[in-house]
Amino acid sequence: MNKLLYILFFSVLAVKAQTPLSSSEATALKKQVQEQAQKTQTMTVDFVQLKHMDFLSNDIETSGNLSFKKPNLVKWQYLKPFRYSVLFKDQTLYIDDDGKKSDVNLSSNKLFGQLNNLIVNSITGDLFQEQDFEITYFKVADGSEVVFIPKDSKLKKYLSQFHIFFSAQAYVSQVKLVEPSGDYTSILFSNRTVNKPIADAVFTH
């Protein structure tokens, strides 16, 4: 009987893998992430994006790489299964759809601007604005998970919450954006290179 209780106890623990961070652990994580963000001048990283929709048999997988240069140049380049890139630069979103170029003015499109900020901040990890989000911190295998619930009602319509997973070294390893319907987009990062020069051409439209 004791053995059974013992097994039950540990099974419950195993299922409940998300343990909240104590406030001092959360503060330490924030500090570590912000220090990393401050040190990061440039970054390139590969990504795999999975779009999950409940009615589909499989998630839709796309992949490519991402380049970041301080203060706010970001380029997402999708390479598989199609070529497509978006460049966030000077309040404008430059799109290259396999050679067809277009742009979107972010200052006239508040939502896109907000999403851009989210993206920049989630890559650098410098994203702990308590005034904009309800934030909770968890311990997970190999690092931490931070859950953000937007306070802005307009943003909430698109995004009910998003999760950022940090590695033990406080780098962003995964971002998960959850829609109000429960469908979500997961972006998994790998092969990170930090503070190596990036050719200007990468950020040219």
Partner 1 sequence: MRYLLISITVLLVGCASYPKKQKLTVLDTGKQALSIPYFSNPETDYVYKAGIDVFDNHFSGLLIVKKTDENTHRVVFTTEMGSKIFDFSFQGNLFTINYIQDDLNRKLLLKILEQDFRTLVCENPTIAKGYTLENNSVLEGNINGETHYFYLDGTGQLVKTVFPKKGKASITYSFSKINSDIAREIIINHQSFNLKIILKSI
Residues of this chain, 138-157, that bind partner 1 according to CB under 8 A: 157
CB of 78 to partner 1, least distance (A): 6
* 108 scored as a contact of partner 1 (CB under 8 A): no
CB of 180 to partner 1, least distance (A): 8
| Angstrom distance (rounded) from CA 106 to CA 90 | 9
| Angstrom distance (rounded) from CA 29 to CA 164 | 12
| Angstrom distance (rounded) from CA 110 to CA 122 | 18
Would you give the distance in Å from CA 155 to the centre of its chain? 16
Phi, psi (deg, nearest 5) at residue 202: -60, -35
Among the listed residues 57, 108, 153, 191, the single contact to partner 1 using CB under 8 A: 57
Residues of this chain, 77-96, that bind partner 1 according to CB under 8 A: 78, 81-82, 84, 86, 95
Six-digit token string for 162: 């998003």
Nearer to partner 1, 51 or 89 (CB): 51
Spell out, one character per residue from 158 to 187, where the chain touches partner 1: x when CB under 8 A holds, - when not. Answer: x------------------x-x-x-x-x--
Look-up: residue for tokens 């998630």? 59
Residues in the chain: 205
* 6 scored as a contact of partner 1 (CB under 8 A): no
- Report the half-sphere exposure of 92 (CA within 13 A, side-chain side): 10
Residues in touch with partner 1 (CB under 8 A): 49, 51, 53, 55-58, 60, 62, 76, 78, 81-82, 84, 86, 95, 97, 100, 102, 115, 157-158, 177, 179, 181, 183, 185
